[in-house]
């Protein structure tokens, strides 16, 4: 599902169509967090309750960062060196946030897959 944005160029009268950023990985992270929150909700151990709280907080942070990153991603092209060199610190910041989201997905998925295992230790993930 990719939304498209149409931009009319008032000088040349041309219209360009660009794909809007897709935030599927943000939604995937929220889904994994929700799954883990529901799993750890009824566990009574202190470590499980800490995991429950951590996944709740992570989900809230994803909701907070998504619109901010969208604004930075949109404004970043205004600060490029020139038309051929799309480089600036804003793009680097967006890339770092995207990598953090991917790393969080990795850890959330690992908890989700291994939490029913006999060898799962919640304290390992709370260091």
| Successive 10-residue mean pLDDT values, the chain, 127 residues | 43 44 85 96 93 96 93 84 76 91 96 93 87
Q: How far apart are CA 22 and CA 100, in angstroms?
A: 16
- On whether residue 74 sits in a domain, the answer given is yes
pLDDT at residue number 39: 95
Give the list of residues 6+ apart from residue 20 with CB closer than 8 angstroms, or none. 2, 3, 4, 5
Give the list of residues 6+ apart from residue 114 with CB closer than 8 angstroms, or none. 120
Pair of tokens at residue 120: 């799962």
**Is residue 96 within 8 Å of 68, Cβ to Cβ?**
no
pLDDT at residue number 127: 79
Domain count, the chain: 1
Domain range for 77: 23-125
- On whether residue 16 sits in a domain, the answer given is no
pLDDT at residue number 6: 43
pLDDT at residue number 85: 74
pLDDT at residue number 15: 46
């Amino acid at each position: 599902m990719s939304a498209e944005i149409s931009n009319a160029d008032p000088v040349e009268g041309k219209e360009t169509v660009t794909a809007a950023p897709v935030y599927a990985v943000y939604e995937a992270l929220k889904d994994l967090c929700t799954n883990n929150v529901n799993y750890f909700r009824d566990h009574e151990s202190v470590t499980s309750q800490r995991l429950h709280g951590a996944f709740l907080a992570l989900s809230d942070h994803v909701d907070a960062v998504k619109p901010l990153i969208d604004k930075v991603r949109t404004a970043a092209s205004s600060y490029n060196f020139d038309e051929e060199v799309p480089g600036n610190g804003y793009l680097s910041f967006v890339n770092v946030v995207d990598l953090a989201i991917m790393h969080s997905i990795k850890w959330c998925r690992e908890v989700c897959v291994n939490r029913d295992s006999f060898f799962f230790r919640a304290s390992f993930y709370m260091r």
